[in-house]
Structure 1
Amino acid sequence: MNDESHSRDVTVNVIPSLAQIAPEVWDACACPEAVDGRPLDPFTTHRFLSALEDSGSVGTRTGWEPQYLVVEVEGETVAVAPMYAKGHSQGEYIFDHSWAHALERAGGRYYPKMQLAVPFTPATGRRFLTKPGWEVLGRSALVQGAIQFAANHQLSSVHVTFCTEDEAEAGAEMGLLHRVTQQFHWLNEGYATFDDFLSALSSRKRKAIRKERAKAQAFGGEIHMLTGAQIEDRHWDAFWRFYQDTGSRKWGQPYLTRKFFEIAHDRLRDDIALVICERGGVPVAGALNFIGREVLFGRYWGCIEDHPCLHFEACYYQAIDYAIAHGLKRVEAGAQGEHKLARGYLPAPTHSLHWLAEPSFRDAVEHYLDAERRAVDEDIEILTAFGPFRKDQREEQQ
């Protein structure tokens, strides 16, 4: 079967729960590459998305109502997408609050809207999930299905966030608005050790990182990187305390429920690299990472004690160590944070797609996005030039 089968009967269904589709059917679209190993990222797998749903992290009264898209050709599922009806813009990391305010000031209604995304996860990955060979038909059917759903329910918009660059280009050709934002990623240039990475930095930055690592390691305890069966229930008890502290300060309340971490212990441990910092045998800080085929995705940090530079060590340097040891190509350190630049993380573009029902509103946003793209491109160029790498290394990277 392939995309030349355009004349065949295509149906797009919306289902409110992943319990209505078998894991192997969903994953045949979401991560066909995982047949012989890890998925490119775990975030669109049935096990991850269903953990969000089963834990109550998404669903009723969360502002994230699942409306998963399923495309079938003569009864065969060939494409799926994680789609949610959103009652707010929290947990997305592609900020559109100003759009909502503008439309509502003009007498329109921005919420609810539709979001094709992985909730609470600013990590680039495929959003139009298709079986191999069905990319063109599958993407087209998913886009048309999402827009038709929004139109049928008189919703303001559809947003596809943290999609791949390839998907962004395809979506733009279908008439969606293309937005470019930025994150900071660490790139593995074939380093054999952390010192190899440091040797690529300017002398001043190299010394600064060594000082930070020394300060962090002197916090009076031990730092452990755990994955798979090494992760125990007690580690989740500790990390929940860390996560609650960070969530209450950043978002007012944590996005994930305690039950999510219980489910993660059963279903997702092999996808996780968990940093736990213990002092006197008591966990005092930690960082949660997810493991992809080529990328380590940094997600959450928290602590119950403050120690100099321990945040940088647990979140950034431990992730680099892990990526080097396991031959990963990149570390994505999550949303925002220009402070990451001094730690060897360089700016990288991220992509999203947008459909807006109101024509005049769409035109205004399109003009804004054109200017924003130019500004982001310039910002990435400037930040890269002032990055921590030696001049000869910067020239090679460019």
Structure 2
Amino acid sequence: MEDISKVPAIEWDACMASTNPFTRHAFLWALEQSGSVGGDSGWRPYHLLLYRQQQLVAVMPLYQKSDSWGEYVFDWAWADAYQRYGVAYYPKLVSAIPFTPVTGNRLAIHPQAKPYAEAIYQQVSGILKQQLQQFSSWHGLFLEASECQQWQSRAELTLLRREGCQFHWFNRDYASFDDFLAALTSRKRKQILKERAKVQHLHYHWFAGDAIANELWQRFYYCYQMTYLKRSGHGGYLSGDFFLKLGRLLADNVRLLLVCRDNEPPEQAFAAALYLADEQQHVLYGRYWGTLQELDGLHFEACYYQGLEYAIRHGFSCFNAGAQGEHKVLRGFEPVMTQSLHAIAAAEFQHAIEHFCAEERQHNQQYVATMRQALPFKHSD
């Protein structure tokens, strides 16, 4: 399926059976309809759908990829190896949410079809095996741990497992930000207070859902685009129309932070950060940000500390502020392992990539252990 709009949203979301905003039909539809995927983006929709007696029983977000941008599970070295041997690595198949390193369902089975899960996994793996006659590989990125186990035990494919590391903040029933600070060592607590003091003269305005007018979206997008342009030489992967559609379709999930100076209205904010909230699973996601002026401490404040305060104030149990960034550890974010699975069509490359994955897993386990020792909480001293 090359156009998710041809799938009724209610049927897709019934299979996903999750409040994760990134796997919902609306998020993927907004990506496609805004031109953020498709065209020359490197992401060509190729979604997999399974029906049983005319009922949609399983869905998989799937894309044909002509490069490896926007995946956050890096395989550039694999592509280089293929190129050195004169073998095409692209196109490949990727099951992921474009530009979104967030764990979630990839093969989603309708709750009523769970009794047939084993047969569905076997059928889907058979379809992927056929597809690997024309694609170099299949990559299931940021899989739920339970789904990863299901794939490994039920799929009729040789699957190589990779592990990665992100840093998430967990709410230990903190009553306030000060309560969170009290759990840290004195030195780390003082460091955070010092960082926040640099930008406390600014004004931070939160907007949610339908309260985000088009003018505020335009200001956010301007900040986002200018920051991408400065750092990457392009205006960002996502279009302004994507954010407008997101605000309309996922209004219940969207939280927008605008940063202003004295007497400056939100429409003239000079920095902004966009969050998405899953209130049923009590998870806050920090996703996109931008600024028109670089200020020391502003990124940490807008993307981390304001998010922490919001999570505590509204009772979120987890704050996922995005991929990578070991600098988060000293600010109370804990290492979390992520998982992905990879099917390689060419047998001559499979052994080398399997060895690479094994070494990478060992390195990541050591890395996570080291990061845990660096956590700033009093009990970690």
TM over 0.5: yes
1:290 Cα deviation from its structure 2 partner: 1.1
Mapped partners of 1:136, 1:200: distance in 2: 45
Measured in 2, the distance between the counterparts of 1:156 and 1:92 equals 16
Paired with 1:313 and 1:70, the residues of 2 have a C-alpha distance of: 42
**Percent identity over the alignment?**
42
Alpha-carbon contact 1:168-1:353 (below 8 Å) kept? yes
Q: Do the aligned partners of residues 141 and 242 (structure 1) sit closer, same or farther apart at CA in structure 2, a change above 3 Å counting?
A: farther
- 1:303-346 deviation line (CA, Å, top 9, x unaligned): 00122211111100111112112222211111111111111111
CA shift for structure 1 position 297: 1.1
For the pair 1:222 / 2:222, whether they are aligned, the reply is no
- Corresponding residue of 1:193: 176
Q: Name the TM-score, length of structure 1 as normaliser.
A: 0.89
User: Which segment drifts farther, 132-141 or 192-201?
Assistant: 132-141
Structure 1 position 233, deviation (Å): 1.1
Unaligned runs of 5+ in 1: 1-14, 34-38
**1:371 match:** 359
User: Which is further off, 82-91 or 276-285?
Assistant: 276-285
Match of 2:135 among 142, 152, 155: 155
Paired residue for 1:69, among 34, 37, 48?
A: 48
For these two proteins, the number of residue pairs brought into alignment is: 368
Whole-Å separation in 1 of the counterparts to 2:125 and 2:257: 38
The answer on whether the counterparts of 1:128 and 1:138 sit within 8 Å (CA) in structure 2 is no
Partner residue of 1:36?
Answer: none
The match for 2:284 is: 296
1:17 and 2:3 are equivalent in the alignment:
yes
Structure 1 pair 84/338, CA: closer, same or farther in 2 (3 Å)? same
Alpha-carbon separation, structure 2, partners of 1:136 and 1:275? 44
Q: Distance in 1 between the 2:352 and 2:341 partners?
A: 15
Q: Give me the whole-angstrom Cα distance separating, in 2, the residues matched to 1:156 and 1:250.
A: 32
- Aligned mate of 2:377, from 374, 385, 389: 389
Aligned-residue Cα RMSD (Å) equals: 1.5
Give SS of 1:167's match.
helix
Q: Where do 1:6-45 residues align within 5 Å?
A: 15-30=1-16, 32-33=17-18, 39=19, 41-45=20-24
- 2:75 pairs, out of 93, 96, 110, with 96
Which secondary structure state, in structure 2, belongs to the residue aligned with residue 118 of structure 1?
A: coil
2:126: which partner in 1?
144
Moved more, 117-126 or 71-80: 71-80
- SS class of match (1:334): strand
Aligned equivalents of 1:51 and 1:86: distance in 2? 19
TM superposition shift of 1:216: 1.6
Residues 227 and 292 in structure 2, CA contact (< 8 A), matched pair in contact too: no
Q: Match of 1:155, as an amino acid?
A: F
**2:49–2:59 CA contact under 8 A, matched in 1:** yes
Q: Please say if residues 188 and 376 of structure 2, whose CA atoms lie closer than 8 Å, have aligned partners that are also in contact.
A: yes
Partners in 2 of 1:249 and 1:91 — Cα distance? 18
* Residue aligning to 1:272: 254
Distance in 2 between residues matched to 1:87 and 1:53, nearest whole Å? 16
Q: CA deviation digits over 1:252-291, x for unaligned, max 9?
A: 4211112112212321222111111012222010111111
How many Å separate the matches in 2 of 1:116 and 1:356? 14
> Equivalents in 1 of 2:124, 2:167: separation in Å?
30
Partner of 1:46: 25
1:250 Cα deviation (Å)?
4.4
Contact kept? 1:84, 1:115, Cα under 8 Å: yes
Cα distance change on mapping 1:213 and 1:143 into 2, 3 Å = farther
Q: What TM-score does the superposition give when structure 2 sets the normalisation length?
A: 0.93
1:81 to 43, 55, 60: 60
Q: Answer yes or no: is 1:121 the counterpart of 2:100.
A: yes
Cα-to-partner distance string for 1:216-250 (whole Å, 9 max, x where unaligned): 212xx310122112211111111111111232244
Q: Does 1:171 align with 2:151?
A: yes
Distance in structure 2 (CA, Å) of the matches to 1:268 and 1:297: 14
- Aligned AA (2:218): D
Paired residue type of 1:265: G
| Unaligned stretches of 5+ residues in structure 2 | none
Describe the SS at the equivalent of 1:43. Answer: helix
SS of the residue 2:338 aligns to: strand
